[in-house]
Amino acid sequence: MSVYAQKVLDSLKTRYADQPEFVQAATEILNTLQPVIEKHPEYEKAGLLERYVEPERIIIFRVPWIDDEGKVQVNRGYRVQFNSAIGPYKGGLRLHPSVNLSIIKFLGLEQILKNSLTGLPIGGGKGGSDFDPKGKSDNEVMRFCQSFMTELYRHIGKDVDVPAGDIGVGAREIGYLYGQYKRITGLYEGVLTGKGLTYGGSLARTQATGYGLCYFTEAMLKANGQQIAGKTVVISGSGNVAIYANEKITQMGAKVVAMSDSNGYVYDPNGIQLNVVKEIKEGRRGRIREYVDAVPGATYTEGCSGIWTIPCDIALPCATQNEINGESAEQLIKNGVMAVAEGANMPSTLEATAAFQKAGVLFGPAKAANAGGVAVSALEMSQNSLRLSWTFDEVDNRLKDIMNGIFSKVNAAAKEYATEGDYVAGANIAGFLKVAEAMMAQGAV
């Protein structure tokens, strides 16, 4: 690591010792930037890295709401407006009991580089709350979302900050949030993405992250003389990203044999029947274990990490951060995995990433591999500004081009600055260079 990057990281580790996920994401990024720092000594003078790791603004707020028993509940809301050098802040909202400042900051830091890689004009931000939508009625979720937006609305706008979905935030939550924003401001504008198709949403946004992950994986395999058809795949999670990753990779001729949720995983040697998963998860917010009631021959195992003991050629972690540790990575390698592409944000620990790279596994890091969701969000913003809607194929074709473009950029940056095939370094460097140039051009702000 460069002396300058090391100094910035050491200071982060001291100041934010209580933010392990944020420090982890910063460590991975700063670890890879040495060639860029060496080529641009002016960055240190301009305090560029110090500014890059410090959010422009953090908003933390109280979210009071009334449950179905008439009792007041209080949650904590966050929006981290991390970097607006290349466009308005853009990034999802996560609703999960584990949400805290460390998690939102790691997601925001990653989002800056991810959004840069899309080639579209979007800065980086992230937000959410420790509210748990699980087990809540639709009315409770609505009252929470309305209260959340009653504070958030003053900080966002179509040219300021455009939130979207993430874990626990899908079409239902975006609808309630949008309704409240419109009611308070009187503005019918593209302030959120992932909207329903009847009120400004984009076709293919629902599919975008999962499909994009498969387009990226296809490009990565192709560049290495491989193909997806005929491969056995394990996908963790069974939410938005996991479901559409399964749909696309199956269309590409692979067989998905396992999926999971936070309770456990199902294994189906005949190939997971996605219509059953969709009915359970999208249809009635059920649990993945219910799959075995519908499909004879499938088995359910309690606990999440066991899914990585199932032999596969391609692993697509699509649930949450740090779901693959060093031990799970070694297990996957031992079982012959040839590619890992991250649908979730930072699903591999630093040890797991190092193990995959050391073993020569093709490794597509999250900020490149899962950028399809935010890319189509940016296309939704374009359509809202144009007051037009593009067809599914038009959006899907743009998504494909964007994901191929991301792989090319990442591949080229790896070759030029680091080691051929090191897509972690390639993604960080290619994403960072654009943000750095824009920050330098705009002065010390």
DSSP 382-426: HHHHHT----HHHHHHHHHHHHHHHHHHHHHHHHHHS-TT-HHHH
How many Å apart are CA 370 and CA 241, to the nearest integer? Answer: 9
The yes or no reply on residue 147 touching ligand 2IT (CB under 6 A) is no
Catalytic residue among 90, 105, 126, 367: 126
Of 140, 247, 261, 422, the residue at the interface with ligand NDP (CB under 6 A) is 261
Q: Which does 241 bind (CB under 5 to 8 A by kind): ligand 2IT, ligand NDP, none?
A: ligand NDP
Question: Which residue from 314, 346, 318, 344 is spatially nearest to 332, judged by alpha carbons?
Answer: 314
Query: Between 115 and 146, whose beta carbon lies closer to ligand NDP?
Result: 115
Q: Does 202 bind ligand 2IT (CB under 6 A)?
A: no
Which of ligand NDP, ligand 2IT, none binds 168 (CB below 5-8 Å, type-dependent)? ligand NDP
Residues in the chain: 445
Residue 346 near ligand 2IT by CB under 6 A = no
Q: What is the distance between the alpha carbons of residues 285 and 404, in angstroms, rounded to a whole number?
A: 33
357 lies in the binding site for ligand NDP (CB under 6 A): no
Q: Is 276 in the site for ligand NDP (CB under 6 A)?
A: no
CA neighbor of 109 nearest in space, from 91, 96, 95: 91
Minimal distance in Å, beta carbon 164 to ligand 2IT? Answer: 3
Question: Is 428 one of the binding residues for ligand NDP (CB under 6 A)?
Answer: no
- 124 scored as a contact of ligand NDP (CB under 6 A): no
Among 210, 373, 426, 431, binds ligand 2IT (CB under 6 A): 373
Residues 219-223: contacts with CB under 8 Å, at least 24 apart = 219/403, 219/404, 219/407, 219/408, 220/339, 220/341, 220/362, 220/364, 220/407, 220/423, 221/339, 221/362, 223/407, 223/411
Complex with ligand NDP: residue 81 or 111, whichever CB lies closer: 111
Half-sphere exposure at residue 281, Cβ-oriented, CA atoms within 13 angstroms? 23
Task: Give yes or no for a contact between 124 and 86, defined as CB atoms under 8 angstroms apart.
Answer: no
Vertex 244: Cα angle to 240 and 246 (nearest 5): 120
Q: Is 126 a catalytic residue?
A: yes
CB of 343 vs ligand 2IT, minimal distance in Å: 10
| SS (HEC) of 101-127 | HHHHHHHHHHHHHHHHHCCCCCEEEEE
Q: Does 373 bind ligand NDP (CB under 6 A)?
A: yes
Contact residue for ligand NDP among 55, 237, 365, 426 (CB under 6 A)? 237
Shortest distance, position 90 Cβ to ligand 2IT, whole Å: 5
The yes or no reply on residue 316 touching ligand NDP (CB under 6 A) is no
The option from ligand 2IT, ligand NDP, none interacting with 193 (CB < 5 to 8 A, set by class) reads ligand 2IT
**Shortest CB 110 distance to ligand NDP, Å:** 9
- Find the binding residues for ligand NDP in span 145-184 (CB under 6 A): 165-168
91: partner contacted, choices ligand NDP, ligand 2IT, none (Cβ within 5-8 A by kind): ligand 2IT
> Which tokens is 192 given?
């959120």
Complex with ligand NDP: residue 21 or 166, whichever CB lies closer = 166
Do residues 89 and 162 lie in contact, with contact meaning Cβ atoms separated by under 8 Å?
yes
Tokens describing residue 433: 């260079």
320 touches, from ligand 2IT, ligand NDP, none (C-beta below 5 to 8 Å by class): ligand NDP
Q: Which helix (H) or strand (E) holds 46?
A: none
* Pick from 117, 97, 17, 79: nearest CA to 409: 117
The residues in 88-127 that bind ligand 2IT, with binding defined as CB under 6 A, are 90-92, 114
345 contacts ligand 2IT (rule: CB under 6 A): yes
User: Side chain identity at 278, as an amino acid letter?
Assistant: K
Whose CB is nearest to ligand 2IT? 92
Q: Does 344 bind ligand NDP (CB under 6 A)?
A: yes
Proportion of the chain in helix, strand, coil states, percent, rounded to 5? 50, 15, 30
Q: Strand 232-236 relative to strand 255-260: parallel, antiparallel, unpaired?
A: parallel
If the CB atoms of residues 48 and 174 are measured against ligand NDP, the closer one turns out to be: 174
**Interface ranges with ligand NDP (CB under 6 A):** 165-168, 209, 237-242, 261-263, 304, 318-320, 343-345, 370, 373
Provide the annotated active-site residues.
126
**Interface ranges with ligand 2IT (CB under 6 A):** 90-92, 114, 164, 166, 193, 345, 373-374, 377
